[in-house]
Chain A
Amino acid sequence: MKKILLIIASALLLLTGCSDAHAKVNNPTEEIIKIGNKSITKEEVYNNLLTNYGSYFTITDATDKILDAEIEITDEMREEANSAIETYKAFYLEQWEEFLSYYGYSNEDEFINSIIRGERLTKLTENYVYDQWDDLMDSYNPKKAIVLSFTDSDMANAALVELKKGTDPQEVATAYASSLSGSSEIITSESTYTTDVMAIVNTASINDDYAMIPSTDGVTTYIVKVEETDPNNIQEEVASSLASYDSIQIAADEYYFRKYDFTIYDKTLYDDIKANYSNYVVQK
Chain B
Amino acid sequence: MTNLIKKYWFVSLVVIFLFVIIIYFVYDTNKDTLSGKKVDGNDVVYTINKIDKTADELYTDLYDKYGIATIYNKLEQAVANQAIETTEEMETIAKENSQTIISNFESQYGDTYEEQLLSALKQVGYSKVDDLETYLIQIQKITLLFENYLNDNPELVQTYIDEKSPRIVSHILISMEDPNNPTQEELDIVKKVEEELEAGEDFGVVAYNYSDDTASAQLNGSLGYATKDTQFVPEFLEAMLLLEENEVSDWVKTNYGYHLIKVDSTSLKELELVDDFYTDIYSYYPNMQSEAIWEKANELGIDFKGNKELEIKLKKYLGISE
Contact = CB atoms under 8 A, between A and B. Distances in A.
Decide whether A and B assemble into one complex: yes
Interface of A: 4, 7-8, 11-12, 14-15, 18-26, 31-38, 40, 42, 44-54, 57-58, 61-62, 65-66, 69, 257, 260-267, 269-270, 275
B127 A47 contact: yes
B26 A65 contact: no
Contacts of A275: 115
10 pairs of A and B residues whose beta carbons are closest in the complex? A21-B36, A36-B300, A23-B43, A49-B62, A38-B78, A34-B303, A35-B78, A260-B49, A23-B55, A18-B30
B199 interface: no
B70 A265 contact: no
Contacts of A69: 49
Contacts of A22: 36
Given A25-B56, A36-B301, A53-B62, A7 B19 contact: yes
Given A24-B55, A35-B75, A53-B65, A260 B48 contact: yes
B9 to A, nearest CB: 14
B19 A40 contact: no
Interface string B22-39: 110110011001111100
11 contacts: A26-B42, A33-B305, A36-B82, A37-B82, A46-B55, A50-B58, A52-B122, A52-B125, A65-B48, A261-B47, A262-B46
B142 to A, nearest CB: 14
A42 B19 CA distance: 44
* Chain B interface residue bracket vs A: 35 or more
B59 interface: yes
B304 interface: yes
B34 A38 contact: no
Contacts of A31: 303, 305
B46 A49 contact: no
B297 interface: yes
Given A33-B303, A265-B34, A266-B45, A11 B78 contact: no
B59 A42 contact: yes
B310 interface: yes
A21 B66 contact: no
A276 to B, nearest CB: 8
Given A7-B19, A15-B29, A34-B305, A44 B46 contact: no
B78 to A, nearest CB: 4
B302 interface: yes
A50 B127 CA distance: 10
A61 B79 CA distance: 35
A224 B74 CA distance: 62
A48 B74 contact: yes
Contacts of B308: none
B47 A262 contact: yes
B82 A45 contact: no
Contacts of B54: 23
B127 A265 contact: no
Contacts of B30: 15, 18
B51 interface: yes
B292 interface: no
Contacts of A21: 33-37, 43
Contacts of A37: 82
B101 interface: no
Contact of A26 (B25, B56, B301): B56
A267 B35 CA distance: 9
A65 B49 CA distance: 7
A33 B301 CA distance: 10
A23 B62 CA distance: 15
Given A8-B19, A21-B36, A264-B46, 5 more contacts: A34-B305, A35-B75, A36-B301, A61-B53, A267-B34
Contacts of B56: 25-26
Nearest to B124: A52
B81 A38 contact: yes
A264 B29 contact: no
B269 to A, nearest CB: 33
Nearest to A283: B34
Contacts of B123: 52
A261 B50 contact: yes
Nearest to A266: B45
Contacts of A65: 48-49, 51
B67 interface: yes
B25 A15 contact: yes
Considering residues B19, B46, B51, B122, which has the most beta carbons from chain A within 10 angstroms of its beta carbon? Answer: B46
A116 B305 CA distance: 40
Contacts of B26: 11, 14-15, 18
A18 B45 contact: no
Nearest to A64: B48
Considering residues A52, A267, A275, which has the most beta carbons from chain B within 10 angstroms of its beta carbon? Answer: A52
